[in-house]
């Protein structure tokens, strides 16, 4: 097999701000480590950081660069909760467990916040608060949500009537909003790189440009074979953490096909405008995170300050992997439909990223079925809500390895039972099914809006 060649970070505002940084050397030759983490996104990185902080021996291999996947390309909204709605979670596991899970998801966000403060990087926090806006006049659902979140989850959501929303977000499209003061937004790539550097300072070993190509059971645990520009490598380990998300097994051999099949890659897109400065004041007077409640809706925020302010605009979901040629034009059209007063804005950068979704829209966290007590851990499928949940999940897996803490079992309800290596790789049926589900969601969104207008 030819040596694996790493890809640089995708062109994005974050990658431009990060600039040229030398890669960490790829792994080659024979090594041993108590734990090997596969995947240098925020899931793998947080598990690695937590293990290093607990004084454990841990090695992370990343096929490309730290933060190369969704973790370094996302909108940077750090907010409590999961991709699945907390009320749906409540229906599945009951209120007490849903509350425990919500609290864990909140702690994930606090972990990110605390690391930034500890690393003297609180300046990365670009804005606070989250406005969840609705695009139809039936806003009763917002009221009910605010009441339930206050009563059952201790979350103070403020209901913003149409007038207040339209003063803050100057558009005819929105009819009401919920304001949550807790979320904030950051540059996720800068955070991922800082977390990696700090893990390294604490004794973790991290390798860029190192693709894990196979996973075999050995007498003492596992053997991971790797490929990189310095040649092949092997690492023996008692524990292996699979944190490759949507990218695992996509353009490379499958490591554990049952898991890879359970995680469907879903693409979403982001553009950033050229500096708009004061032009933005006529449209958006809110520095926090903004998203509409549609299932395939828009999410956006202002980046930068003063005359250098730009709009970062995200949206659309698809299971198509190739980036559409008209990506920038598509998102620009979405932006103009909401804020026509911005006029003809220039698009500076446009990029896409893959989120890993399980059918349940919940993360897959814990020991692999069929390999119980054998030290093979899944840490994946954080969907579109990974900034807090990867921190939470990384902490749960590290706690399990370092302290035998079995809190990860709170996620057992969403652990697909069929995860073993015998099932074939991610297949077309999985992808097509997911695409149909998302087309259905978009169609329902459009119908609701048409009824409302
Ligand atoms: C455009 C976009 C916007 C988003 N916005 C938000 C947001 O605002 N807030 C939020 O909470 N979430 C958001 N998300 C979701 C969030 O980014 C993800 O849930 C989260 O980053 C997933 O982290 P991860 O570590 O599981 O995966 P990733 O960050 O995708 O990392 C996986 C890594 O594993 C590596 N890898 C895979 N296979 C191997 C292998 N065999 N060997 C070695 N390495 C391997 C890959 O190269 C990759 O770097 C967004 C996602 C996208 C794409």
To test the ligand 1 pocket, which listed residue (71, 83, 394) has its Cβ within 8 A of the most ligand atoms?
A: 71
Q: Using alpha carbons only, how large is the chain's radius of gyration in Å? A: 21
- Does 109 contact ligand 1 (Cβ within 6 A)? no
The pLDDT of residue 327:
83
- Does 252 contact ligand 1 (Cβ within 6 A)? yes
- Does 76 contact ligand 1 (Cβ within 6 A)? yes
Give the angle 71-321-319 at the CA atoms, nearest 5°: 90
- Classify 26 as helix, strand or coil: coil
The pLDDT of residue 442:
64
Residues 207 and 63: beta-carbon distance below 8 Å: no
- Does 247 contact ligand 1 (Cβ within 6 A)? yes
Tokens encoding 106: 């909140």
Residue nearest to atom 47 of ligand 1 (CA): 63
The pLDDT of residue 429:
46
Task: Please list, residue by residue across 357-394, b when 16 or more beta carbons sit within 10 angstroms of its beta carbon and e when fewer do.
Answer: bbebbbbbbbbbbebeeebbbbbbbbbbbbbbbbbbbb
Residue nearest to atom 3 of ligand 1 (CA): 74
For every one of its 453 residues, what pLDDT tens digit does the chain have, with 9 covering 90 and above?
A: 678 999 999 999 999 999 999 999 999 999 999 999 999 999 999 999 999 999 999 999 999 999 999 999 999 999 999 999 999 999 999 999 999 999 999 999 999 999 999 999 999 999 999 999 999 888 888 999 999 999 999 999 999 999 999 999 999 999 999 999 999 999 999 999 999 999 999 999 999 999 999 999 988 899 999 999 999 999 999 999 999 999 998 888 889 888 888 898 989 999 999 999 999 999 999 999 999 988 778 999 999 999 999 999 999 887 777 777 788 888 999 999 999 999 999 999 999 999 999 988 999 999 986 655 589 999 999 999 999 999 999 999 999 999 999 999 999 999 876 555 543 334 444 555 555 556 666 666 666 556 554
Which residue's entry shows tokens 């291999």? 61
Count the Cβ atoms, other than its own, within 10 Å of residue 8.
Answer: 11
- Does 132 contact ligand 1 (Cβ within 6 A)? no
Tokens encoding 320: 């198509």
To test the ligand 1 pocket, which listed residue (355, 385, 393) has its Cβ within 8 A of the most ligand atoms?
A: 355
Distance between CA atoms of residues 207 and 355, nearest Å: 23
- Does 12 contact ligand 1 (Cβ within 6 A)? no
Cα of 415 to ligand 1 centre, how many Å? Answer: 19
Distance between CA atoms of residues 59 and 394, nearest Å: 14
Cα of 39 to ligand 1 centre, how many Å? Answer: 9
Cα of 449 to ligand 1 centre, how many Å? Answer: 31
Residue 21's region, left for phi above 0, alpha for psi from -120 to 50, else beta, is: beta
Count the Cβ atoms, other than its own, within 10 Å of residue 436.
Answer: 11
- Does 127 contact ligand 1 (Cβ within 6 A)? no
Cα of 165 to ligand 1 centre, how many Å? Answer: 32
Residue nearest to atom 31 of ligand 1 (CA): 41
Count the Cβ atoms, other than its own, within 10 Å of residue 451.
Answer: 10
The pLDDT of residue 140:
80
Distance between CA atoms of residues 177 and 157, nearest Å: 10
- Does 46 contact ligand 1 (Cβ within 6 A)? no
Nearest-10 crossing angle of helices 188-201, 95-118: 80
- What ligand 1 atom has the least distance to the C-alpha of 267? 53
Tokens encoding 247: 């990218």
To test the ligand 1 pocket, which listed residue (70, 301, 387, 390) has its Cβ within 8 A of the most ligand atoms?
A: 70
Count the Cβ atoms, other than its own, within 10 Å of residue 131.
Answer: 22
- Does 44 contact ligand 1 (Cβ within 6 A)? yes
Count the Cβ atoms, other than its own, within 10 Å of residue 226.
Answer: 27
- Does 248 contact ligand 1 (Cβ within 6 A)? yes
Distance between CA atoms of residues 71 and 46, nearest Å: 11
Cα of 72 to ligand 1 centre, how many Å? Answer: 7
- Does 283 contact ligand 1 (Cβ within 6 A)? no
The pLDDT of residue 426:
47
The pLDDT of residue 424:
36
The pLDDT of residue 449:
55
| Domains present along the chain, CATH in parentheses | 13-74+189-262+359-422 (3.50.50.60)
Cα of 249 to ligand 1 centre, how many Å? Answer: 14
Nearest-10 crossing angle of helices 42-53, 188-201: 30
- Residue in 378, 21, 389 with CA at minimum distance from that of residue 208: 21
Cα of 96 to ligand 1 centre, how many Å? Answer: 30
- Does 185 contact ligand 1 (Cβ within 6 A)? no
């Amino acid at each position: 097999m030819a040596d694996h060649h790493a890809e640089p970070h995708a062109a994005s505002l974050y990658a431009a701000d990060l600039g040229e940084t030398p890669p960490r050397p790829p792994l080659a030759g024979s090594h041993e480590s108590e734990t090997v983490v596969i995947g240098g996104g925020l899931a793998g990185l947080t598990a690695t950081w937590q293990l290093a902080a607990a004084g454990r021996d841990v090695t992370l291999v990343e096929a490309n660069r730290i933060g190369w996947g969704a973790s370094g390309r996302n909108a940077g909204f750090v907010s409590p909760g999961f991709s699945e709605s907390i009320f749906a979670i409540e229906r599945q596991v009951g209120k007490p467990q849903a509350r425990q899970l919500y609290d864990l998801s909140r702690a994930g966000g606090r972990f990110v916040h605390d690391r930034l403060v500890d690393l003297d990087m609180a300046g990365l926090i670009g804005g606070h608060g989250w406005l969840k806006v609705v695009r139809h006049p039936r806003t009763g659902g917002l009221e009910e949500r605010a009441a339930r979140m206050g009563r059952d989850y201790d979350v103070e959501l403020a209901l913003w009537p149409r007038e207040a929303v339209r003063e803050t977000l100057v558009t005819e499209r929105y009819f009401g909003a919920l304001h949550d003061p807790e979320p904030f937004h950051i540059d996720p790539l800068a955070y991922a790189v800082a977390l990696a550097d700090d893990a390294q300072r604490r004794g973790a070993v991290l390798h860029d440009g190192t693709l894990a190509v196979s996973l075999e059971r050995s007498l003492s645990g596992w053997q991971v074979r790797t490929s990189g520009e310095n040649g092949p490598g092997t690492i023996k380990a008692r524990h292996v953490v699979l944190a490759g998300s949507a990218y695992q097994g996509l353009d490379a051999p499958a490591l554990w096909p049952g898991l890879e099949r359970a995680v469907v890659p879903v693409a979403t897109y982001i553009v950033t405008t050229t500096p708009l400065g004061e032009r933005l004041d006529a449209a958006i007077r809110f520095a926090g995170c903004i998203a509409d409640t549609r299932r395939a809706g828009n999410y956006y925020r202002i980046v930068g300050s003063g005359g250098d302010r730009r709009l970062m605009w995200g949206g659309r979901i698809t299971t198509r992997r190739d980036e559409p040629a008209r990506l920038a034009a598509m998102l620009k059209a979405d932006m103009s439909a909401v804020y026509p007063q911005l006029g003809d804005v220039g698009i500076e950068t446009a990029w896409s990223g893959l989120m890993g979704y399980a059918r349940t829209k919940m993360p897959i966290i814990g020991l692999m079925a069929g390999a119980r007590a054998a030290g093979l851990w899944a840490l994946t499928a954080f969907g579109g809500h990974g900034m807090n949940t990867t921190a939470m999940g990384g902490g749960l897996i590290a706690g399990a390895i370092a302290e035998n803490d079995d809190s990860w079992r709170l996620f057992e309800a969403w652990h697909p039972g069929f995860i073993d290596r015998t099932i074939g790789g991610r297949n077309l049926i999985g992808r097509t099914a997911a695409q149909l589900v998302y087309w259905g969601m978009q169609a329902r969104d459009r119908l609701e809006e048409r009824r409302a207008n």
